[in-house]
Amino acid sequence: MKQTQEFSGKSLEAAIDSACEALNLTKEELKYDVVSTGASGIFGIVGRKDAKIKVRVPDTGPDQASEEEMEGIRSIVDEAFGEETRVEEALELEEDEEEAGDPPPPPREPRPPAEPPVDVTQESVDLGREALQKMADLITDDATVEAETDQDRLTLKIEGGNAGILIGRKGQTLDAMQFLTDKIINRKSEARVRVKVDIEGYMETRKSNLKHLAFKMAEKAKKTGRPATINQMSAQDRRIVHLALKDDTSVRTQSMGDGYYRRLVIFPKKKNSFRGKKRFRR
């Protein structure tokens, strides 16, 4: 049975904000029923009643991967694939973020020209489906994996099962499954395969939400004249924000920090307008 929890506030919006903060969920992720919309009362004092909602609390049992478990997963991958894989991944992230607007790293030896994309092999498709299916089966029941290919890109879609548990808090379980599937496929693939894992269109929804957040934070930076920071973002999410703002000449974006999850800072650019001094004739 799903657990529920009640939250209240001076308004319905306040009750929703309270629930999101307490459960560390976004408004899009929050599932709730309205118990009462509240009443303003006389002069906002006598007879006033708070708005109340009943929230279906996400399952936090052993089936859902926590942030600590994700770190454990990455440690296992690091041990399995060694230092070479970590260096290779770091270079790939640099390439992505250089294209997206981050300041270039210190000069290093020129890279060889990029090879044209190669079609994903059936072996890679089968390996990816099998690996992802095993992960999904360990997390939930009745989930199936479908594959789509486009040159060197492989999209694996999970249908059925408990989508909420498979996606996890802020998409972290989904990120972990994509991370592992990518490493499993590319360990045996001769040519680089770009892997994307999606669950019921979640990735497109997240992309849309991140773009909206990017525009909102950029406006905040321009209005206040101070940097605006978005914390704990994966490389994939940071890239979405970089690309959303790359044509905005009033701001620049930069990833900061270490590790897989870094913060992204949006800096307002200073206006270079020159005000000439007035000259007066004697």
Q: Are 162 and 140 in contact (CB under 8 A)?
A: yes
In terms of Cα–Cα distance, which of 215, 170, 188, 211 is closest to 66?
Answer: 170
Mean pLDDT rounded to a whole number for the chain: 77
In terms of Cα–Cα distance, which of 204, 185, 198, 233 is closest to 77?
Answer: 185
Instruction: Enumerate residues 6+ apart whose C-beta is below 8 A from 135.
Output: 177, 180, 181
pTM above 0.75, yes or no: no
SS (H, E, C) 136-176: HHHHCCCEEEEEEEECCEEEEEEEECCHHHHHCHHHHHHHH
pLDDT at 100: 45
pLDDT at 251: 93
pLDDT digits (tens, 9 = 90+) for 60-75: 444 444 555 555 555 5
Instruction: Enumerate residues 6+ apart whose C-beta is below 8 A from 108.
Output: none
pLDDT at 47: 55
Fill in the amino acid letter for 103. P
Q: Between 195 and 89, where is the model more confident?
A: 195
Given a cut of 50, is residue 92 above it in pLDDT? Answer: no
Task: Report how far residue 69's alpha carbon sits from residue 73's, in angstroms, rounded to the nearest whole number.
Answer: 6
Q: Any idea which residue has 């044209």 for tokens?
A: 116
Count of positions (residues) in the chain:
282
Task: Report how far residue 241's alpha carbon sits from residue 249's, in angstroms, rounded to the nearest whole number.
Answer: 14
pLDDT at 135: 94
Least confident stretch, 10-14, 87-91, 223-227, 244-248: 87-91
Would you give the distance in Å from CA 42 to the centre of its chain?
45
Q: Are 266 and 218 in contact (CB under 8 A)?
A: yes
pLDDT digits (tens, 9 = 90+) for 229-281: 988 888 888 889 999 999 999 999 998 887 767 889 999 987 654 444 444 44
pLDDT at 111: 57
Pull the structure tokens for residue 224: 């206040």
Q: Which of 6-15, 47-56, 96-105, 244-253 has the highest mean pLDDT?
A: 244-253
Given a cut of 50, is residue 43 above it in pLDDT? Answer: no
Would you give the distance in Å from CA 52 to the centre of its chain?
30
Residue ranges and CATH numbers for the domains of the chain are 4-56 (no CATH), 67-103+118-200 (3.30.300.20), 204-268 (3.30.1370.50)
Given a cut of 80, is residue 41 above it in pLDDT? Answer: no
